[in-house]
């Protein structure tokens, strides 16, 4: 059953790009596909397009269902639809799977035209900058010169920020949610443990496991279990599981506590549907993103590099969640401060939420009211 | 604190008179954003509000006001020295715990500072005290047990505070029922309005 404010039944589309894309690393993709979905209608002057950038494990399937019988809708369906906070009666919403992904856009599982084999270990490392560059090509493909907004949580928020830095004339609003201007050492450390779990799995085969007909399930599973711990707050885990037992204590290493059952379930589910090479690359993209690095770590200077007057540059909404310790409010405030120092148009909301980093995906009424009220102020041309 | 336009229109106009056209303004404890909305309309100020309350945050956003959600008590470390023409604390001083700290922070961030507060020395407040009760009025609408106000003060108190803290009072205006009061302001005035600058040290 579809709820009545759903975008309804949707279908992914593929955009093929036959011009080589040079990546930040210096490597180049000779050609590539981006798989994407759209919801709503592009208006007459093409001024109502909103790009959704996904985080670590997200996809282009942001809203709606592929069939009425789908168990789950797209990953941000609670936000996007007719009369929802990101209202598809007003906006033309684009979801895209990033390069290096495993859901249809060119990535490690794709065929390398040079070898006619899966790219595997040979697929280059992609960065936030590369993703944004490729997203602008998708915007060109769709005939959109300027986006009304770019919206992203976590790693997606970094892409929204990067849009404003690299293409200031092509985006009017950036919604940077539960994000950071770069990762802290602790945050990168979690990524390194996750990668080591995958890379040291005997079935990883240096990244060319496709040829061996295996996948490094154990590594990917542990990587995801670790991730889930960091996406929840201590309080949220306490409230959800506490010390609840599945059954009487049996003095074994099997699942005894509810929390273990949850982590194993999440790990197994993820290992069955996600590609390990993609996971490695997504975490690396997180690690590498640091727009202030060429400016001695000064984000204020990084934001000052565009020659446009502040008035004409993208306006920002920055949102953080009080219990998010992986992308803490303090990191969002760094972005806000750099914007304020540049006299940019910015609002900042710090949402009281118990769910930790996961809160950015939750349908919390106040959080959604924040996004709704901000998006109400985004001006777009007439629909017809 | 919420700003009721009908009630406080005159203090908004006085604040506008203390700002240059197009000023860059920071409004601390900006409530529902009514003052900033007024100043944007009257003077095309470039402004940000600072507000901790969720409902007020949404009220500001619905007016198209830039609003930064934070608690004033944690200071203004998110703002650079002398980065605003004017920092305003309108009818919020009495609810601030670290009063001296926040006023110093305002003088650090703003080239000028505007502070307004309900004068506890107003004769109606004194009357209520003299009959044995904490004052409750339009300007001080809370019961003693249910008030955000923690640092109520009189005009005399605040004058002394400025002397002690080496703060220069550029202008002071006192209002009662939206009309200026010049005769015995600490007794006859309901709302005190100060335009402040950091005094240059001798």
Residues of A in contact with B64 (CB under 8 A): 377
Question: Tokens representing A21?
Answer: 């894309």
Query: Which of A340, A349, A374 comes nearest B78 by C-beta?
Result: A340
Give pLDDT, residue B41: 93
Burial classification of residue B81, based on how many CB atoms lie within 10 Å of its CB (0-12 exposed, 13-18 middle, 19 or more buried): exposed
Determine the Cα–Cα distance for residues A272 and B173; give it in Å rounded to an integer.
71
Catalytic residue among A47, A57, A105, A154: A154
Q: Which residues of A touch B78 (CB under 8 A)?
A: 333, 336-337, 340
Is A357 a residue of the active site? yes
Shortest Cα–Cα distance, B86 to chain A (Å):
14
Which chain A residues have a beta carbon less than 8 Å from that of B60?
Answer: 347
| pLDDT value, residue B5 | 47
B2 pLDDT band (50/70/90 cuts)?
very low
Q: Which residue has the tokens 């282009």?
A: A60
Average pLDDT, chain B: 93
CA dist A167 and A314 (Å) reads 10
Question: What torsion, rounded to 10 degrees, do the Cα atoms B18, B21, B22, B24 define?
Answer: -20
| Cross-strand pairs, A17 | A32
Cα-Cα-Cα-Cα torsion B18, B23, B29, B33, nearest 10 degrees, comes to: 100
**A93 vs A378: CA distance, rounded Å:** 14
Residues of B in contact with A340 (CB under 8 A): 48, 68, 78-80, 83
**How many Å separate Cα A287 from the centre of its chain?**
14
Burial readout B41-64 (b: 16 or more C-beta within 10 A, e: otherwise): eebebbbbbbbebbebbbbbbbbb
* Contact check, Cβ <8 Å, B68/A376: no
pLDDT of residue A284: 98
Spatial separation of the C-alpha atoms in residues A216 and A276, rounded to whole Å: 7
Cα–Cα nearest to B155, from B169, B135, B138: B169
Q: Quick one: DSSP state of residue A309?
A: -
Is pTM beyond 0.90? Reply is: yes
Please say whether the beta carbons of A25 and A358 come within 8 A. Answer: no
CA distance linking residue A81 with residue B16, whole number of Å: 42
Cα B159–Cα B25–Cα A340 angle in degrees, nearest 5: 125
Q: Do B78 and A333 touch (CB under 8 A)?
A: yes
- Asked if residue B4 has pLDDT above 80, the reply is no
Chain B residues whose C-beta is within 8 A of a chain A C-beta are: 24, 46, 48, 54, 57-58, 60-62, 64, 66-70, 78-80, 83
Interface confidence (ipTM) of the complex: 0.94
Kindly give the pairing relationship between strand A173-177 and strand A315-321: parallel
Give the number of other CB atoms < 10 A from CB of residue A291: 21
Alpha-carbon distances, residue A155 vs A9, A52, A105, A193 (angstroms): 27, 11, 17, 18
Q: B30: which 2 tokens?
A: 């900006």
Which member of B60, B62, B70 has the closest CB to residue A350? B70
The percent of residues above 90 in pLDDT, for chain B, comes to 90
Residue-wise pLDDT tens digits, A11-28: 999 999 999 999 999 999
Residues of chain A with pLDDT under 50: none
Please name which of A244, A248, A282 lies closest in space to residue A262, comparing C-alpha atoms. A244
For residue A381, give the nearest of A110, A48, A120 by alpha carbon: A48
Q: Which residues share a beta bridge with A117? A: A112
If we measure between CA atoms, which residue out of B115, B119, B104 comes closest to residue B152? B119
Is A154 annotated in the active site? yes
Contacts (Cβ under 8 Å, ≥6 apart) of A185? none
* β-bridge partners, A125: none
Among A242, A239, A246, A243, residue whose Cα is nearest residue A261: A246
The residue from A324, A328, A358, A364 that is catalytic is A324
Evaluate if residue B202 carries a pLDDT over 70.
Answer: no
* Spatial CB neighbours of A92, under 8 Å, sequence gap ≥ 6: A38, A39, A40, A41, A42, A43, A48, A49, A50
Question: What is residue B6's predicted lDDT score, i.e. its pLDDT?
Answer: 45
pLDDT at position A305: 80
Alpha-carbon distance of A81 to A4, in angstroms, equals 9
Q: Which residue has the tokens 């019988």?
A: A69
Q: CA A122 to CA A345: how far, in whole Å?
A: 42
Contact A159/A147 with Cβ under 8 angstroms?
A: no
3-state SS assignment for residue A202: coil
């Amino acid at each position: 059953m579809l709820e009545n404010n759903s975008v309804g039944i949707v279908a992914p589309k593929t955009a093929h790009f036959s011009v080589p894309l040079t990546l930040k690393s210096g490597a180049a993709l000779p050609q590539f596909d981006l798989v994407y979905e759209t919801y709503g209608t592009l208006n007459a002057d093409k001024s109502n397009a909103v790009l959704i950038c996904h985080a670590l494990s997200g996809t282009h399937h942001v809203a709606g269902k592929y069939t009425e019988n789908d168990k789950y809708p797209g990953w941000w369906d609670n936000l996007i639809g007719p009369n929802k906070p990101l209202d598809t009666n007003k906006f033309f919403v684009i979801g895209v799977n990033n390069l290096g992904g495993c859901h249809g856009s060119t990535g490690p599982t794709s065929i390398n035209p040079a070898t006619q084999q899966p790219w595997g270990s040979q697929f280059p490392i992609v960065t936030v900058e590369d993703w944004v560059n490729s997203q602008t090509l998708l915007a060109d493909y769709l005939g959109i010169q300027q986006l009304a907004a770019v919206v992203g949580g976590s790693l997606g928020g970094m892409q929204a920020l990067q849009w404003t830095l690299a293409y200031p004339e092509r985006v009017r609003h950036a919604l940077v949610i539960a994000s950071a201007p770069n990762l802290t050492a602790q945050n990168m450390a979690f990524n390194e443990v996750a990668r080591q779990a995958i890379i040291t799995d005997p079935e990883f085969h240096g990244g060319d496991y496709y040829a061996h007909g295996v996948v490094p399930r154990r590594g990917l599973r542990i990587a995801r279990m670790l991730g889930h711990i960091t996406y929840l707050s201590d309080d949220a885990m306490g409230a959800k599981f506490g010390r609840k037992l599945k059954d009487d204590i049996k003095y074994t290493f099997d699942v005894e506590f509810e929390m273990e059952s949850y982590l194993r379930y999440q790990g197994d589910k993820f290992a069955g549907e996600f590609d390990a090479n993609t996971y490695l690359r997504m975490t690396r993209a997180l690690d590498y993103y640091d727009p202030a690095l060429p400016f001695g770590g000064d984000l204020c200077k990084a934001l000052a590099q565009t020659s446009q007057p502040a008035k004409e540059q993208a306006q920002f909404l920055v949102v953080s969640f009080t219990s998010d310790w992986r992308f803490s409010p303090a990191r969002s405030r760094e972005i806000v401060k750099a914007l304020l120092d540049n006299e940019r148009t910015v609002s900042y909301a710090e949402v009281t939420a118990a769910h930790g980093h996961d809160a950015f995906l939750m349908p919390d009424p106040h959080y959604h009211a924040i996004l709704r009220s901000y998006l109400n102020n985004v001006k777009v041309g007439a629909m017809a | 604190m919420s700003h009721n336009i009908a009630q406080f229109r005159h203090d908004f106009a006085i604040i506008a008179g203390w700002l240059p056209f197009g000023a860059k303004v920071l409004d601390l404890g900006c409530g529902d954003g009514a003052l900033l909305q007024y100043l944007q309309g009257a003077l095309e100020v470039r402004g940000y509000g600072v507000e901790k309350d969720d409902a007020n945050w949404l009220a500001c956003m619905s007016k198209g006001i830039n609003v930064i959600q934070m608690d004033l008590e944690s200071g203004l470390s998110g703002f650079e020295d002398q980065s605003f023409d004017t920092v305003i604390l309108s009818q919020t001083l009495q609810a601030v715990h670290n009063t001296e700290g926040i006023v110093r922070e305002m003088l650090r961030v703003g080239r000028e500072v505007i502070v307004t507060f309900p004068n506890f020395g107003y004769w109606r407040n004194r009357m209520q005290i003299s009959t044995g009760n904490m004052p409750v009025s339009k300007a001080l609408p809370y019961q003693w047990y249910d008030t955000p106000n923690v640092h109520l003060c009189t005009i005399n108190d605040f004058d002394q505070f400025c002397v002690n803290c080496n703060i220069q009072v550029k202008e002071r205006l006192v209002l009662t029922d939206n009309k200026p009061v010049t005769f015995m302001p600490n007794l006859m005035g309901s709302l005190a309005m100060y335009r402040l600058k950091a005094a240059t040290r001798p």
